[in-house]
A and B are shown apart, each in its own frame.
Chain A
Amino acid sequence: MYNDKNSKKIVETIQNWARSHSVWVLAYGTGCGAIEIAPTMTSRYDAERLGFRGAATPRQADVMLITGYLTVKTVKRVVRVYEQMQSPKYVVGFGSCTINGGMYYDSYNTINLLDRYLPVDVYINGCMPRPEAVIAGLAKLQQIIREGKANGAEKYLENLEWYKENQRKIAPNWIAKAPDLNW
């Protein structure tokens, strides 16, 4: 009965509903965007009422917020943290810097487009995005989780070679034993 297509679909729907209403956020505070996380979580905007909650470690987290620009150095750490997370897992790109480099578009040591290194589910644009924008972005994430379209983890595994190649380009002598999804 469990392997029946329809009952699988029902189970999947319930699971996706639970996933969308319980999102544990790992805020990877790379850039200035991290300053907007505090008002989003605390009393004025209170993201916890929608089911968002801070996660202490990557193992427990569901969604990683990349809050701002990523330097070549931090990309390594971000990739490592992303691979430590347990799927299903999602990435939210935060601010203009993750979309096109923002004000650092011609810097020699920041990356311009986050999507080349990690599968991003939702972008929140703005410099800085206000807490209202953050909550709108997270609500969008909830919506695509509920529809079952937030499959970044599978996309990452399918196109692992392409992602690893891009990661190697910016950090040539880094990933010796990649792909290591267990860390």
Chain B
Amino acid sequence: MEYILIKTLEAMATFVLAFIVGMTYGGVVRKITGRAHNRLGPPWYQNFIDAFKLLSKTRGIHHGAMHFLGAAFLMVTSVVSLMIIPVLAPGGDAWYNSWFTNMNFNGDLIFLIYIMTFGPLGMAMGAGQTGNPNSSIGVTRGLSQMVGFEIPWVMALVALMITYKTTSVVDFMNIQRETGTWLMFANPFAFIAAVLAMLGMFRYSPFDIVGAPTELASGPVSENGGKFLFTMMSSGSVFTFAKLVLYVDLFMGGANNLVMLVVKTFLLYMIPVLYGIVSPRYRTEQAVRWFWGWPTFIGLLAILYAVIF
């Protein structure tokens, strides 16, 4: 009983950490975008104010039961992937390290590949119920884009699985600690393919074709205001953090303490953000063609590298 209680508290600590860091990253990204536009930009805590304002809206209409499922699926996706991914390395030196390794098990990488596509599917159902044409177009674009970036992403993961004969994220972290080499250097092709897939995963320009504000009026979320939008915004932030942590765990050896975690995830997060600031937007078919070009080829190279060496 006590064990379960402690586990629950640890899970809540992980969630609070992910929420705070994710929302702060959102605000910092807005600030950086503002500075790149030669503006002052909003303060870094602007996202917290926005979230609180959305939460304190007094009216929020819905379009039927399925509409709730969109927000609920997103929430489930982000929380479950956060719980599966070990946030800090289990054998690290900090005293709080055991708090943040929650429910990982052998084979969690395969489960993560599945669960990370779960949110967009739920969003598709929720957006379909709202009856807004922009939502339907946005969902179609989002699923097409997912078909694009999933292929190099899965190829990169399969290359790692072939090399080290394991599907557990903790095992990958242990291997990197024992050999002393990060996997981004051990199999560089896999890392490059994963980073190129990451550009589509985080949906910044040029791959912001799902929410395209001027084109689709924010796409799948266009009928959601108030508390619905708060749920989507906060679970989006948590999910962003979870994905960054997964990348850090797999390719950069995980993090031993919270400072290293924030440094590594922030550096990684800057790749799609800074590339996005200077890029215009692709059309859907251009995006898919881009993902099935060089990223897939490099993913193939990664698998060959894993098989041959």
**A contacts, CB < 8 Å to B:** 14-15, 18-19, 21-22, 24, 42-43, 46, 48-49, 51, 53-54, 56-57, 59-62, 85-88, 182
Whether B37 contacts A42 by the Cβ 8 Å rule is yes
Please, which residues of chain B bring their CB within 8 A of the CB of A14?
52
For the complex formed, measure the closest distance between the CB of B207 and the CB atoms of chain A, giving whole angstroms: 18
Which residue, A14, A46, A86, A88, has most C-beta atoms of chain B within 10 A?
A86
For A53, the chain B residues whose CB sits under 8 A away are 42, 50
Question: In the complex, are the beta carbons of B218 and A57 less than 8 A apart?
Answer: yes
**Is B217 part of the binding interface, using a Cβ–Cβ cutoff of 8 Å?**
yes
Interface residues of B (CB under 8 A from A): 30, 34, 37-43, 46, 49-50, 52-53, 56-61, 134, 213, 217-218, 221-226, 229
Residues A86 and B41 in contact, CB atoms below 8 Å apart: no
Chain B hits for A22, CB < 8 A: 46, 49-50, 52-53
Q: Pick the residue among A15, A19, A24, A56 that contacts B222 (CB under 8 A).
A: A56
Show 17 A/B contacts (Cβ-Cβ < 8 Å), sorted by A.
Answer: A15-B56, A19-B56, A21-B53, A24-B50, A43-B38, A46-B39, A48-B41, A48-B42, A49-B43, A51-B42, A53-B42, A54-B213, A56-B218, A59-B224, A59-B229, A60-B218, A61-B225
How far is it, in angstroms, between the C-alpha of A62 and the C-alpha of B34 when the chains are bound? 22
Contact across chains for A51 and B224 when beta carbons are under 8 A apart: no
Contacting pair B39 A43 (CB below 8 A): yes
Which chain B positions have C-beta within 8 A of A15? Answer: 52-53, 56
Closest to B60 in A: A86
- For the A-B complex with A60-B218, A60-B225, A86-B60 known, give 12 more contacts whose Cβ atoms are closer than 8 Å: A15-B56, A19-B53, A19-B56, A21-B53, A22-B46, A42-B37, A49-B34, A49-B41, A56-B222, A57-B217, A59-B226, A86-B225
Which 4 pairs of residues, A with B, have the shortest CB-CB distance?
A59-B225, A56-B218, A15-B56, A22-B53
Task: Answer whether A87 and B222 are a contact pair too, CB < 8 Å, given A42-B39, A49-B40, A57-B217.
Answer: no
